[in-house]
Every structure is written in structure tokens, then in C-alpha cells.
Amino acid sequence: MTNRIKVERAILNLTQEDLANRISVSRQTINAMEANKYVPSTVLALKIARVFNKPVEQIFFLEDED
Amino acid sequence: MNQKLLLPNRFKMIGWTILIPATIAGIILTTTGYEAEWLNAKVLTLFYDEMGIFSDVMIDKFGPFGMIEANITNTLVGVVFLIGGLMVAFSKENHEDEFIANLRLSSLLWSVWVNYILLLIAFLLVYGLAFLHIMIYNMFTILIIFIIRFNYILYKSTKSMADDK
């Protein structure tokens, strides 16, 4: 799975820290997701979507191997 | 996320201050075989045996439950090490979340694998008294390997975070 968290974050002018605080996770988690090293839980994906005010499908994308 | 089986974060620091001296003491004890005279004590045991390994244990018979004379140097260091190790390994991080929980679980899996692969190699290649030493160390290695692996991965992810704002 891939995502455009970094892009969405840039649009809202949020740092990794800001986003981490808003969804109450560590900065490592945001960083790992942006590096595609961690696939978030559904709960976390929905929280991220809520911050960006977009449906999850516009933030997270399945890849061929998924 | 609800992490019921983790200790509060403050235990991590307490754990380190216990674990480090206990590790040093443990290494000294296993290499020198030192036993402190003043740590001879009468202790409760679940099972006592006249063929006891510890030569300085005074035993008149064998059976379940009893009071025996024993040197508790190793007992004390081992217990302190385990308590410290468990605190370090299973305390919450500053910001415990699902990613950290994931790291924790994968590190635990990794450490069990590595521990038993090492033990398997030792089983095949080490015999006699040397194997007894391996068994003594093996009581603690899962915890040690887990702590090293988990903290290394956490350090690596914190470091990559510093590079990438």
C-alpha cells in the first residue's frame, strides 16, 4: 500500500509533529508511514483522512502486490 | 491502543538503572564463580535434593518444600537482572502507539527466532560443562536480544526521522 500523506501534509502546511499530535501518535509513526514502511490500522487511516478532510481512498492506495 | 500488558513509561528508566549494574555483576559472577560469604542464608525451596549441584548447600534428605542453607549471590543477581530486564523490555515508550506496538511484537518474534537458532547451534556444537554455561546464559538471552533489537530499530526510525522533516 502506498499513500500521499506527505503531499496532503504539505498542502495543509503541517509538519510531521503537527500531524502526529493531531492524531495522537508518535512522529516515528508518521515518518514510517510516509516512507511506506508501516501500514496503519483502519482506525489510524480514518483519523488521518479526517485531518485532511478527504475519504481514505484519496490518501491510501493499494498496489499490485496487495 | 490499549496495551494492557505493558508497564507505565517511568519503569523503563528504573529498569535501566537496575539492569546495567546487574548485567555487570552477572558477567563477573559467571566468569569468576564468586559467591559472597555474607549471602549465605536459610531459604525456602520448592524442591530440595541431596544430589544438589551447589556444593555448599547443606542437605540431609530430598523432597518437596523445605528450608535449606544456600548461597544466594547468584539468586540475587539473577532476580535483579530479570526484574530490570522485564522493566526495560515491557515498559511503554514515551509515546506508545500502534507502530511502536508493531515494532515490539516483531522484535519479540525476531528475538525468539535468534535465541533458539543460537541454542540449536549450541546443542549441536557444545558439550559438557561448557553447555551448562550456555544454558545459564540462555535463560537471559531472549530478553537481552529483544531489548537490543527493539531499541536499535526504534533508534533507527528516530534517526531517519531526524534526516527527513
DSSP symbols for A32-60: HHHTT--PPPHHHHHHHHHHHTS-GGGTE
Is the CB of A26 less than 8 angstroms away from the CB of B102?
A: no
Q: What span, in angstroms and rounded, lies between the C-alpha atoms of B58 and B63?
A: 14
Give the minimum alpha-carbon distance from B53 to chain A in angstroms, rounded to a whole number: 49
Give the DSSP H/E element, type plus range, for residue A17: helix A16-22
Give the minimum alpha-carbon distance from A11 to chain B in angstroms, rounded to a whole number: 15
pLDDT at B50: 58
pLDDT at B165: 53
Query: Which candidate in A31, A41, A43 is best for mutational testing of the B interface (most B CBs within 10 A)?
Result: A31
Is the CB of B99 less than 8 angstroms away from the CB of A27?
A: no
pLDDT at A21: 93
Closest-CA residue of chain B to A6:
B165
Residues in B touching A15 (Cβ below 8 Å): 165
- B93 contacts chain A (CB < 8 A): yes
Is the CB of B164 less than 8 angstroms away from the CB of A31?
A: yes
Q: pLDDT class for B71, splitting at 50, 70, 90?
A: confident
- B2 contacts chain A (CB < 8 A): no
Q: Is the Cβ–Cβ distance between A40 and A46 less than 8 Å? A: no
Is the CB of B157 less than 8 angstroms away from the CB of A41?
A: no
- B165 contacts chain A (CB < 8 A): yes
Residue B51 has pLDDT above 70, yes or no: no
pTM to 2 decimal places: 0.84
H, E, C per residue of chain B: CCCCCCECCHHHHHHHHHHHHHHHHHHHHHHHCCCCHHHEEEEEEEEECCCCCCCCCECCCCEEEEEEEEECHHHHHHHHHHHHHHHHHCECCCCCCHHHHHHHHHHHHHHHHHHHHHHHHHHHHCCCHHHHHHHHHHHHHHHHHHHHHHHHHHHHHHHHHHHCC
Tell me: the pLDDT tens digits for A3-43? 999 999 999 999 999 999 999 999 999 999 999 999 999 99
- Summary mean pLDDT of chain A: 93
